[in-house]
Amino acid sequence: MALEIATLGGGCFWCTEAVFQQIRGVKRVEPGYSGGKTHNPRYEQISQGDTGHAEVVRLMFDTAVISYRSLLELFFTIHDPTTLNRQGNDVGTQYRSVIYFHTPEQQAMARQVMKATARLRDEPLVTELAVVPVFYPAEDYHHNYFRLNNQHDYCTLVVAPKVSKARQFFVKTVAA
Among candidates 54, 59, 76, 51, which has minimal Cα distance to 130? 54
Q: How far is CA 168 from CA 74, 83, 116, 162, 171, in A?
A: 11, 23, 20, 10, 6
Q: How far is CA 143 from CA 10, 129, 140, in A?
A: 16, 25, 5
106 CB burial (10 A radius; 0-12, 13-18, 19+):
buried
Among candidates 57, 70, 102, which has minimal Cα distance to 172? 70
Report which residue type is found at 100: Y
Phi/psi at 130 (5° precision):
-150, 160
Residues annotated as part of the active site = 12
